[in-house]
Structure formats: structure tokens, C-alpha cells
Amino acid sequence: MSRVISTGVGNRAWGISHPGPREKNEDALLIQPLGDAYLLAVADGLGGHGGGDVASKAAVETLQETFEREYTEGFGLKDVEDLLRKAYKDAHRRIMEMSPEPGKTGTTMVAAFVRDETAVIANTGDSRAYLIRDGRVISRTRDHSIVEELLERGVIGEEEVRSHPMRHVVTKALGIELAVDTYVWGIEEDDVLLLSTDGLHDVLDDGEIAKLASQGGPKEAAERLVGEALKVAEDNITVIVFKRG
């Protein structure tokens, strides 16, 4: 069984990656201090394709290397957004080049650059970032998935999402077909920023996630979220909890 990864930075951020009921963990995570900021990311290698674990690891490593090489303190938010997009493009290219059959190995990735009162988010695929305030989700990223498209078109309702037979089918992924959405969120005192792979949010609804993430410090919240998801887990589970104190 793949080992559980648990890592964090003081009382600000904590991440856990658990294989769940599966033998292999194809998720990856990153928590990287950057002087005046933090860089956070979770990635989910695509099941059903060879090398999903390799792809997710390559994605977070490329993101980390790009920021360690090119980020300097005081970068403007537009510069940060551009650097995130560059890292995603580089990761996409790297995964395609390392794949035995280009376009068949891929990964999702959601990343957050957090500095002072602002988070810049980048997302490809169906891993998610949530902004939680006063125990409620006030913002979250949009999934690149068949189910999200059906929901937006009114073909299915919210109650059908978690049981839909195509709920795991993504429309964009690094290494397969690139698209990067970016968001800029203001973060207030005591807000929670949560990143998760679909092993969490496929089994817990937004209300449950917000409640569990709001209790205690980042480590306790991450452990509580993973513990609750494990009760009904079907997949690897990876979460990062960041709290602005």
C-alpha cells in the first residue's frame, strides 16, 4: 500500500495525501514557502492512463522549479498570474515529452499563490480550490469536466453530480489538452483556503467540506477532512488547508 504523506508549514498550511482504498497513490502535493508568500498545489494523475503518478509528480515539480527560479519578492499579481501560466505550459510540455504515447498520460493540477490578503489560483482539470469564510464556501474553482458542463447547461441537477457515471471524465488536463483558468481572491482574517483532489469532493459536499475545514488549525482540519472522506472513499484523497491567521 502506498504510504500516507503528511506535511506542512507551521500553523499556516498543512497537506495530506492518502491512497484511500487503492494500492497506488497517483496524487501529488506541494507546500512551498517563497519568502513573502506560499505556493500550494495538488495534482491528480489520471486513472486509466499509464503513469498518472509520474505525471502528477512532474506537474508539481515543474511548478516548484519555475517559482524557485523566477519568482522574486514583490512580484505584481499580473506577473504571478503569468508565471503560473508559464509553469502550467511547461508542465504540460514536460508530461507530453515523457509520455510513451503523447496525449495518453496526464494530470489535473490546482495551484494557489498566497501572499498577504490575496490568493492567485490556477486550475486545469477537476481538482479544486475553495475559499471558505465563516464556515461557508464563498468561492471555488470551476471543474473542467463533462459533469460540470452538463450542470451548467441544466441537463443535470446538483443532486445528480456525485452519482453521475461520467463524473470522473475531465475535459482538460496537463499532458493531454491544456487549458488554464486563473482567479484572484481576497483573503480575510480567519479565512480558509482549501485545495483538494476529487477523492475528497466527490464524496463530501461543499457544506460538509466547509464545516470540517473551519474547525481547528490546518493540520487538524486536514486530518478531519481526510478521515471523513475515508469512510466512503473510492479514490486517492489529497487536501491542503491554508488558514490566514
C-alpha cell at 243: 488558514
In three-state form (DSSP H/G/I as H, E/B as E, the rest C), the secondary structure along 108-139 is EEEEEEEECCEEEEEEECCCEEEEEECCEEEE
Indicate if the pLDDT at residue 156 is higher than 90: no
pLDDT score, position 167: 65
Indicate if the pLDDT at residue 140 is higher than 80: yes
Q: What distance separates the 2 farthest-apart alpha carbons in the chain?
A: 47
The band of 103, judged by pLDDT with boundaries at 50, 70 and 90, is confident
C-alpha cell at 104: 495518453
Number of domains in the chain: 1
The least confident of 3-12, 78-87, 112-121 is 3-12
pLDDT score, position 166: 59
Tell the residue number behind the cell numbers 475545514, with chain if given. Answer: 213
The answer to whether residues 86 and 66 touch, using CB atoms and an 8 Å cutoff, is: yes
Indicate if the pLDDT at residue 154 is higher than 90: no
Q: Write down the pTM of the prediction.
A: 0.93
Model confidence pLDDT, tens digit, residues 40-88: 999 999 965 568 999 999 999 999 999 999 999 989 999 999 999 999 9
Mean pLDDT of the region 222-240: 96
User: Alpha-carbon distance 127 to 144, whole Å?
Assistant: 9
CATH number of the domain to which 39 belongs: 3.60.40.10
Q: 215 vs 149, which has greater pLDDT?
A: 215
The answer to whether residues 239 and 22 touch, using CB atoms and an 8 Å cutoff, is: no
pLDDT score, position 144: 87
Mean pLDDT of the region 137-156: 79
pLDDT score, position 101: 75
Mean pLDDT of the region 172-187: 96
Indicate if the pLDDT at residue 181 is higher than 60: yes
Indicate if the pLDDT at residue 236 is higher than 80: yes
User: Alpha-carbon distance 12 to 119, whole Å?
Assistant: 14
pLDDT score, position 157: 59
Indicate if the pLDDT at residue 164 is higher than 60: no
Model confidence pLDDT, tens digit, residues 123-139: 999 999 999 999 999 99
The band of 99, judged by pLDDT with boundaries at 50, 70 and 90, is confident
pLDDT score, position 60: 98
Mean pLDDT of the region 92-99: 93
Full residue range of the structural domain in which residue 77 is found: 5-243
